[in-house]
Amino acid sequence: MPRDPRFAGAFTAIITPFTADGSAIDFARLEQQIEFQAAGGVRGIVVAGTTGESPTLGEHEYPKLLARAAELARARGLLAIAGTGSNSTAHALELQRIARDAGMDATLSVNPYYNKPTQEGLYRHFASIADAATLPIVLYNIPGRTGVAISPATMQRLAKHERIVANKEATGSTDSATEIAIRCPELALLSGDDSMTLPFASVGAVGVVSVVSNLAPAKVSGLCAAFLKGDWNAARALHRELFDLCRAMFLETNPIPIKAAMRLLGRDSGSLRLPMTEASEPTIAAVREALTRAGLR
């Protein structure tokens, strides 16, 4: 059994809402979006992750975003998880301290990117963070973004640390997810890809860190609730309902399509910061069609 049962169910990788010109965080909109997530029954939110455009958040913005999101989430009974990953171990440790001081409940720590450490380097990076941290840590295994994957054997070594409680598995590989579930029963295995939520659940995952739940939190949380209680027929039905939407959200690099979708629904300005750019017209048309088919507009 996972060492921390809180890390099961649907967690929304929440977008960071910007003003129309992209110059500032829209905190009023952030409150509305977190309220929408709470009403949809998700277990928690992930703030300043990939979907939250963490690479373009200013040093002055990041602590304020975390503190406000933690406050809003706590008032609504949601877990608040902060993206604290870096390809510098020292910088990642500093982000952990900021997350703690902001009142976050846990942190999400991604594979170091660009410098592509060895498996021993990955182990030492995450072990150093866990040794110094005071908050629970969710590892984030996403080789498509970082160029390197945490192997199941390295994950098993890291799972022995009491502050490492979960793994967001965004490899897209059921083989990797299966081996990690077998080797690391103490970790809560979470899908990092919406379309893989049900396939990963079939081999032992207990939830998802979702992009699509920005749009449909009740359905994503319902999917997780269904498979967690063993109702695979209901889970399969929800998986199929969400499938087109899942695919549409990754027609271009995340978070380009999800921000386009939120703008189409009137729930966000849709602004992104360079080097992220607005969705192409074909993508917008596909997103609009997927939203319509899903009954969201």
For residue range 129-159, list pLDDT tens digits in order: 999 999 999 999 999 999 999 999 999 999 9
Q: Show which residues are catalytic.
A: 140, 168
Q: Is residue 76 part of a domain?
A: yes
Contact 58, 26 (CB under 8 A): no
Q: Is residue 70 part of a domain?
A: yes
Q: Is residue 195 part of a domain?
A: yes
The tally of CA atoms less than 13 A away on the side-chain side of residue 246 is: 19
Q: Is residue 256 part of a domain?
A: no
Amino acid identity, position 169: E
H or E stretch covering 189: strand 188-191
Q: Which runs of E-coded beta strand occur in 105-187?
A: 106-110, 137-141, 164-169
Q: Average pLDDT over the chain, rounded to whole?
A: 98
Q: Give the dihedral sign, CA 222/182/147/99.
A: positive
pLDDT of 1 above 90: no
Eight-class DSSP state of 187? S
pLDDT tens string 224-279: 999 999 999 999 999 999 999 999 999 999 999 999 999 999 999 999 999 999 99
Q: Is residue 161 part of a domain?
A: yes
Contact 78, 43 (CB under 8 A): yes
pLDDT of residue 38: 98
Q: Is residue 269 part of a domain?
A: no
Total structural domains within the chain: 1
Q: Is residue 262 part of a domain?
A: no
**pTM, full prediction:** 0.98
State the average pLDDT over residues 71-86: 98
Contact 262, 214 (CB under 8 A): yes
Q: Is residue 260 part of a domain?
A: no
pLDDT of 296 above 90: yes
Output the domain CATH number for residue 21: 3.20.20.70
Domain range holding 141? Answer: 9-230
